[in-house]
Amino acid sequence: MTPRRRKRRDVDGFSLSFLDAITCGFGAVILLLVLVKFFEPQTIERSKVEAEGLIARLQEELFELRGETAILNRDMDSVTEQLSESKRLLARLRGDLSALRGQFATTEDKASIDSSVRGELVAARQQLTEEMRRLLANYQPAEDDTTVGGIPVDSEYIVFVIDTSGSMFQGPWRLVLDKVRETLEVYPSIKGIQVLNDEGRYMFSTFAGRWIPDSPSARRNIINRLANWNPYSDSSPVEGITEAINTFYEPGKPMSIYVFGDDFPRGQVEAVARYIANVNRADEFGNRLVRIHGVGFPTQLAGGRTENALNFANLMRTLCERNGGTFVALTTLR
């Protein structure tokens, strides 16, 4: 074999192998295209379902956002309306303040009002009834009588609420009897009397919850029984005052409560005053159901316990001032 023939055979062999490779490649491409075409519908369907689900979720979120936006808009409108109302209220308050300042200036200009007229205005908190005018027609107090000075004598019924604690009973008890007697003398003739201790216990159990008819013998019995009357006491008049008002107040029957005591060892004055104000309610004109007066005995000052004495004085001044009464602080135990 010549060299030229060998070279031709080699070229033919190479060309055949190349064509085989190309043919296999084309076959693989055709097979790939067939497989892709076979799975394409399933892929498109799945993509469509996923897209529809996504659209549904987005629409739901859109609806929720629209609802929240509507709520926020309503809240915004409400806040805007409240702000406008607050501005209107502020404007009215400023106007009221200006008016009050003007009235205060006018009141200052009238500060020179006659003292006798001022006294009449203070004393007019509770008017005397026709019956009381008749009862007091012949009463003439002594010129030097100041034991209950300043206490309006305008009640037809009176209740004594007396601290029966040891500091009172073992100390100025004889003075307590004297002051009860003197107070009764200021009322020469009334319709009913009652005596309780600061816990709300009755001196005479047979008259519990009802009035003791006034008479000279009834007054003597009260003084005689009081001389040895010593029930338990915690030195707080709240229970006694509450019992007196809730049990004995009746519309159209002027009534006064006299609180006798020497100390107030516990409790807040303002809290007690607010509680009593709820019991002794005020009408539209500021008048309370009953008057509350107080008499303070200086036993704690003599014993060096000034704080309890000052607390009692502060309590009774507050109660008397807010309930149309007068507080009398005794300076000695004689």
Look at residue 315 and tell me if it is in a domain.
yes
Owner of token pair 């009141």: 107
Most confident of 80-84, 167-171, 237-241: 237-241
Which of residues 122 and 169 earns the better pLDDT score? 169
Taking phi over 0 as left and psi of -120 to 50 as alpha, with beta for the rest, 181 belongs to: alpha
Give the total number of structural domains in the chain.
Answer: 2
Regarding whether 90 and 186 lie in a shared domain, the answer is no
Look at residue 119 and tell me if it is in a domain.
no
Share of the chain above pLDDT 70, in %: 69
Task: Residue 32: give the domain boundaries.
Answer: 1-112
Share of the chain above pLDDT 90, in %: 37
Regarding whether 320 and 224 lie in a shared domain, the answer is yes
Regarding whether 82 and 228 lie in a shared domain, the answer is no
**Residue 214, Cβ neighbours under 10 Å: how many?**
19
Regarding whether 248 and 195 lie in a shared domain, the answer is yes
Which of residues 65 and 19 earns the better pLDDT score? 65
d(Cα 19, Cα 23) in Å, to the nearest integer?
Answer: 6
Which of residues 226 and 98 earns the better pLDDT score? 226
DSSP secondary structure of 164-183: -SHHHHTSSHHHHHHHHHHH
Report whether pLDDT(333) > 50: yes
Confidence at residue 13, expressed as pLDDT on a 0 to 100 scale = 52
d(Cα 327, Cα 325) in Å, to the nearest integer?
Answer: 7
Report whether pLDDT(89) > 80: no
Contacts 24+ apart (CB under 8 A), 6-13: none
- Residue 291: is it exposed, middle or buried by C-beta count within 10 angstroms (0-12/13-18/19+)? buried
Look at residue 334 and tell me if it is in a domain.
no
What mean pLDDT do residues 175-185 have? 92
Look at residue 56 and tell me if it is in a domain.
yes
- Report the range of poorest mean pLDDT among 213-217, 242-246, 325-329: 325-329
Regarding whether 185 and 291 lie in a shared domain, the answer is yes
**Which of these, 192, 204, 262, lies nearest to 231 by C-alpha position?**
204
Owner of token pair 């707080």: 236
Regarding whether 133 and 97 lie in a shared domain, the answer is no
CB 292 within 8 A of CB 159: no
Q: How far is CA 331 from CA 110, 160, 272, 326, in A?
A: 36, 21, 25, 16
What single letter denotes the amino acid at residue 206?
T
Most confident of 96-100, 210-214, 310-314: 210-214
Contacts of 207 (CB under 8 A, 6+ apart): 194
| HSE-CB for 74 with a 13 A CA cutoff | 5
Average pLDDT over all residues of the chain: 78
Ranges of beta strands (E only) in 26-178 are 157-162
- Report the range of poorest mean pLDDT among 50-54, 72-76, 257-261: 50-54
Confidence at residue 146, expressed as pLDDT on a 0 to 100 scale = 37
Look at residue 122 and tell me if it is in a domain.
no
Look at residue 197 and tell me if it is in a domain.
yes
- Residue 281: is it exposed, middle or buried by C-beta count within 10 angstroms (0-12/13-18/19+)? exposed
DSSP secondary structure of 93-131: HHHHHHHHHHHHHHHHHTTT--HHHHHHHHHTTSPPPHH
Confidence at residue 152, expressed as pLDDT on a 0 to 100 scale = 66
What mean pLDDT do residues 191-220 have? 96
Tokens of 6: 């060998």
Regarding whether 158 and 94 lie in a shared domain, the answer is no
Look at residue 230 and tell me if it is in a domain.
yes
Report whether pLDDT(49) > 90: no
Regarding whether 291 and 176 lie in a shared domain, the answer is yes
Regarding whether 47 and 178 lie in a shared domain, the answer is no
Regarding whether 68 and 163 lie in a shared domain, the answer is no
- Beta strand pairing call for 192-197 and 212-213: antiparallel
For residue 304, the domain's CATH number is 3.40.50.410
Which of residues 142 and 202 earns the better pLDDT score? 202
Confidence at residue 302, expressed as pLDDT on a 0 to 100 scale = 59
Look at residue 123 and tell me if it is in a domain.
no
d(Cα 321, Cα 325) in Å, to the nearest integer?
Answer: 6
What mean pLDDT do residues 227-234 have? 92
Report whether pLDDT(158) > 60: yes
Ranges of beta strands (E only) in the chain are 157-162, 192-197, 212-213, 255-261, 291-296, 327-329
Confidence at residue 113, expressed as pLDDT on a 0 to 100 scale = 42
Q: How far is CA 106 from CA 103, 206, 275, in A?
A: 5, 56, 35
Regarding whether 100 and 8 lie in a shared domain, the answer is yes
Regarding whether 232 and 101 lie in a shared domain, the answer is no
CB 189 within 8 A of CB 213: no
What mean pLDDT do residues 211-217 have? 95
Single pTM value for the model: 0.58
